[in-house]
Amino acid sequence: MTYATIILKYFITIFCSFILYFKILNLDVKKLNAFKIIIFLLYSALMSLIMHLLRMRMPEISVAFMIISSCILVRFFIALPFEVAISAMFLSYAINYVVLTVIFFIDSSVAVFISGENLPDLYILIICFFLQPVLISLFFSTKRFKNGFPFLYNQNTRTIGLSASAIIIVNFVLLSRSEDVTSNKFFPLVLATINAAFVFIWWRNSLTKTYSEKLRENEINTANEALRKKDKEMKNLIKHNDFLSGIIHRDNKLIPSMEFAVREYLKGSFGKSPEEIRKIGKELAMQMQSEMSDRKGIIKNYISKNHVLQKTNISSTDNILAYMAQRAEEDDIFMDVLVFGNIKYMAAELISEENLNTILADLTENAIIAVRNCAHKKITVSLGIVNDKYELSVEDSGQHFKKEILHNLGKAKITSHKDSGGSGIGMITVFDILKQTGASLIITEYAAVPQKPSKKICVRFDGQNRFEVNEQTDGKQPEELEKTHIYSHSIK
């Protein structure tokens, strides 16, 4: 080799080793700005010249000096434990020497086969300079190797790899002592090949072991997280049980006392005028009503304070729902949120986040107004996948819509709760959003059943852009009934 080809060989070896170093430790290459890349290129060029000089005067320490100085330079930019950095750098140079030799051998063999003559070393080195980074990138872009060699952070496996890499480097140094890189030095070549095979086996076993340990660690963490959740649920159940036990303890005294009061009232009724009986009975009824109302208020307040709304994982949507729940609570309305599906996908692909929040706010506000003066006050907001389609719905226990309201819904500002704060603007806005998204609006009215929902307004992202009204006339649970279609038209 000429001096120029020797210097170029060192330059390729050093610079490609830096690339390998980052890939092996799975370091973020994007953090390498133009300044750092220029530093590595200048260092590679300068070290190539130094290596050429050391090779002629102090060959025994030249390679060790090159590897250690490269490690120090990299650690100057990226702080890592020295033992990890030096092991990764030795392994990078070892792999680099193997790849460089293989490329030399293949290029020379192909050239001899085609033309009967060896390619000049300079041409082979130029090919290596472009081919080697491409091979490195392809190798570490595969699924199995994209995380590099994480086992280098383990001391036991790191020591084995460091020793094997050092042996490979020593053998390739012996091979490179000749001016012709493809010259036959049988013993060092065989020994280097054996060590390279050993490194490959060590790498494969270490990688498998690391992934197995990581998998086991993840399983343990998952199990621990499940135990923590169970423990939290158990504490909540104990807390709820204690609260209910207190209610039962209170009722054990309250109910007998009320029974005694009624019995005394009946006994004392004999010989008294109807006017006196009514007066005493009214006082007793008011006392019993006060006691039961107080009991109901305690339970309702406890449920309200301990109820947690399900999250959609969209902060603005969760804030809207939390605010509407607070609004509902001010009117003694219990509001629940059910989530079953990836709502982030729905807000990204089917409807904008802003329009999603607008529909939820408008429909929920309408439900609060409708339920405000009812005996049974409950609203359920649902978001998720139903029958393979995304939908959001608001179910409430308010009054049914009047027919004229249904026939003009979305066409004009019309409301059945004008005296309670309704304006009709909300449904106009909802219909405008439905036209943009192609979603359908489906209103289902249920039969009157105590303590059960009376109607549901559903926005279904089915692409049909229709408005439908259905009713269920049976007195069963709403989910057990077949809907009777009574009215529909296209929104657009």
**Tens digit of each residue's pLDDT (9 = 90 or more) over 33-53:** 788 888 888 888 888 888 878
d(CA 272, CA 277): 7
Domain final residue pick, 204, 222, 240? 222
Residue 336: helix, strand or coil by DSSP? strand
Residue 153: helix, strand or coil by DSSP? helix
Same domain (yes/no): 173, 319:
no
Residue 248 lies in a domain: no
Within 10 A of 369 (CB to CB), how many other CB atoms are there?
A: 22
Residue 123 lies in a domain: yes
Same domain (yes/no): 216, 323:
no
| Strand order through the sheet with 389-396 | 334-340, 378-386, 389-396, 455-460, 440-445, 466-471, 484-490
Token pair for 20: 């390998």
Give residue 476's pLDDT. Answer: 47
Give residue 182's pLDDT. Answer: 44
Same domain (yes/no): 217, 366:
no
Give residue 433's pLDDT. Answer: 92
Same domain (yes/no): 312, 216:
no
Residue 232 lies in a domain: no
* Residues of the domain holding 379: 308-490
d(CA 278, CA 286): 12
Give residue 31's pLDDT. Answer: 65
* Burial of residue 51 (number of CB atoms within 10 Å: 0-12, 13-18, 19+): buried
d(CA 107, CA 123): 9
Residue 246 lies in a domain: no
d(CA 391, CA 74): 53
Same domain (yes/no): 171, 316:
no
Strands 440-445 and 466-471 come out as parallel
Residue 286 lies in a domain: no
Which residue is associated with the tokens 């959003």? 433
Same domain (yes/no): 218, 313:
no
Taking only the tens of pLDDT, the chain with its 492 residues reads 577 777 887 888 888 888 888 887 877 766 677 888 888 888 888 888 888 787 777 766 777 777 788 878 877 777 777 777 777 887 787 777 777 777 767 766 766 667 666 667 677 777 777 777 787 778 777 776 777 776 666 666 656 556 656 665 665 565 555 444 444 444 555 555 666 666 666 666 666 776 677 777 877 888 888 888 788 778 877 776 776 677 776 667 667 777 777 777 676 666 677 777 777 777 777 777 776 666 666 666 655 556 678 899 999 999 999 999 989 888 888 899 999 889 999 998 999 999 999 999 999 998 999 898 888 889 999 999 998 899 999 999 988 888 888 877 777 676 665 665 556 687 888 999 999 999 999 999 988 888 888 999 999 999 999 988 888 765 444 444 344 445 556 666
CA max distance for the chain: 135
Helices (H) and strands (E) in the chain, counts: 13, 7
d(CA 280, CA 293): 20
For residue 55, report the phi and psi dihedrals to the nearest 5 degrees.
-60, -35
Same domain (yes/no): 482, 349:
yes
Burial readout 252-267 (b: 16 or more C-beta within 10 A, e: otherwise): eebeeebeeeeeeeee
Residue 146 lies in a domain: yes
Residue 395 lies in a domain: yes
Fill in the DSSP letter of residue 67: H
Q: Please report how many Cα atoms fall inside a 13 Å half-sphere around the Cα of residue 301, on the Cβ side.
A: 7
Give residue 343's pLDDT. Answer: 92
CATH, residue 435 = 3.30.565.10
Token pair for 280: 């005493």
d(CA 5, CA 121): 7
Give residue 112's pLDDT. Answer: 65
Give residue 148's pLDDT. Answer: 75
Domain final residue pick, 222, 256, 273? 222
Same domain (yes/no): 447, 332:
yes
Alpha-carbon 440 to chain mean position: 30
Residue 268 lies in a domain: no
- Split into its structural domains, the chain has a count of 2
Please, which residues have CB within 8 angstroms of residue 63's CB and are 6 or more apart in sequence? 93, 169, 170, 173
Domain final residue pick, 222, 257, 277? 222
Strands 440-445 and 334-340 come out as unpaired
Which residue is associated with the tokens 């439908």? 468
Please, which residues have CB within 8 angstroms of residue 46's CB and are 6 or more apart in sequence? none
Q: How many residues does the chain have?
A: 492
